[in-house]
Amino acid sequence: MRTIQFREAVCEAMSEEMRNDESIFLMGEEVAEYNGAYKASKGMLDEFGAKRVIDTPISEAGFAGVAIGSTMTGNRPIVEYMTFNFSLVGIDQIINNAAKIRQMSGGQFNCPIVFRGPTASAGQLAATHSQAFENWFANTPGLKVIVPSNPYDAKGLLKSAIRDDDPVIFMESEQMYGDKGEVPEGEYTIPIGVADIKREGSDVTIVSFGKIIKEAYKAADELEKENISCEIIDLRTVRPMDHDAILNSVKKTNRLVILEEAWPFGNVATEITYQVQSQAFDYLDAPIEKINTADTPAPYSPVLLKEWLPNREDVIKSVKKVLYK
């Protein structure tokens, strides 16, 4: 199987779907002439032309609204945000229009649209460009939220998102675009709402998603040297969430650690904690541990940023806490 970059997997997913369906188009800042801020749309302008790969003004509210409106006339747009931090400028369009069109029209209109771009920290980008928004959008009925962690999942899930008849938030990371992974050349999709057990284990369940899951892999490698077996679940889709995958794993390992790159108050880990405690409490041999960023805006200093972000040492500490407490 060939090995390609995350950005190439994203580009392939969009291009393949656009070849199959002329109602699909891509719009966003620098997606056309510049081949995308992170080169995730490289070559697409040459292939599909300026009517289907559209550079927009710096007006997230404007082009989000145009794209949402176009779904009512039979189109299936993909909207790229240079970062989801900028989606806040157009969040009214996403929350109050895209997420509610189906219900408010009594089912007369679908809103088949994908909003995609990077989320969370990407190094020294400071407080207003380093925020994780998965839990924000997942809080909204009507939206589906996907956060892949590798090229294979990114391509398969993005193709499913583009084909979905409801609005999908597809969240990436600046720090993953260069990641390489095996991706088949043939057609494939991955169903939305299905988690993946990336590593089987027996002593503790670690649930994570997105780029921060790499810290779980590093921790599991270290813990294996101490004969501690970690089962790692990649959520892939935050909403709808695969509760069964988590619950079945916890019933096997009896311990749970959740790793998420987000502030600690009211996040995805909090929801998982509630679901497990309400449905599998009797299987738990220790309180659930959740690992998040510090409860502050992201710092610019690399020394402080290292302390702010979750890391493998945090995971190792939490695993040992649920094992030996």
Q: Could you read off the pLDDT of 298-314 as tens digits, one per residue?
A: 999 999 999 999 999 99
Residue 76 pLDDT > 90, yes or no? yes
- Read off φ and ψ for residue 282, nearest 5 degrees: -70, -15
Check residue 154 and give its pLDDT: 98
pTM over 0.95: yes
Cα→Cα distances 132→157, 311, 319, Å: 20, 16, 24
Q: Which of 244, 210, 215 is nearest to 318 (CA)?
A: 215
Domain boundaries, the chain: 3-182, 196-324
DSSP summary character for residue 82 = S
Residue 140 pLDDT > 90, yes or no? yes
Cα→Cα distances 252→15, 59, 169, 230, Å: 41, 49, 32, 11
d(CA 230, CA 228) in angstroms, rounded, equals 6
pLDDT mean over 47-57:
98
Convert the pLDDT of each residue in 77-122 to its tens digit: 999 999 999 999 999 999 999 999 999 999 999 999 999 999 999 9
d(CA 164, CA 180) in angstroms, rounded, equals 26
- Extract long-range pairs of 225-231: CB within 8 Å, 24+ residues apart: 228/203, 228/204, 228/319, 228/320, 228/323, 229/201, 229/202, 229/203, 229/204, 230/199, 230/201, 230/203, 230/204, 230/205, 230/206, 230/319, 231/197, 231/199, 231/200, 231/201, 231/202, 231/204, 231/205, 231/206
d(CA 181, CA 3) in angstroms, rounded, equals 5
* Secondary structure of residue 112 in the 3-state scheme: coil
d(CA 193, CA 189) in angstroms, rounded, equals 12
CATH of segment(s) 196-324: 3.40.50.920
- Read off φ and ψ for residue 68, nearest 5 degrees: -65, -45
- At 249, is the pLDDT very low, low, confident or very high (cuts 50, 70, 90)? very high
Q: Which of 156, 174, 171 is nearest to 16 (CA)?
A: 156
Please, which residues bridge with residue 248 across strands?
A: none
Are domains 3-182 and 196-324 of this chain identical in fold?
yes
Residue type for position 4: I
Residue type for position 223: L
Q: Could you identify the residue written with the tokens 């996907």?
A: 146
Cα→Cα distances 131→19, 28, 134, 177, 218, Å: 34, 20, 9, 18, 23
Q: Is 129 a catalytic residue?
A: yes
Convert the pLDDT of each residue in 251-289 to its tens digit: 999 999 999 999 999 999 999 999 999 999 999 999 999
d(CA 211, CA 179) in angstroms, rounded, equals 10
Structure tokens given for 99: 């997420």
Convert the pLDDT of each residue in 179-225 to its tens digit: 999 999 999 999 999 999 999 999 999 999 999 999 999 999 999 99
Structure tokens given for 243: 């509760």
Check residue 325 and give its pLDDT: 73
Determine which one of 8, 12, 17, 60 is catalytic.
Answer: 60
Residue 50 pLDDT > 90, yes or no? yes
Q: Is 243 a catalytic residue?
A: no
Q: What is the dihedral of CA 86, 58, 41, 66, to 10 degrees?
A: 90
Determine which one of 17, 29, 129, 215 is catalytic.
Answer: 129
Give the rounded percent of residues in the chain with a pLDDT score beyond 90.
99
- At 69, is the pLDDT very low, low, confident or very high (cuts 50, 70, 90)? very high
In CATH, the architecture of 3-182 is 3-Layer(aba) Sandwich (3.40)
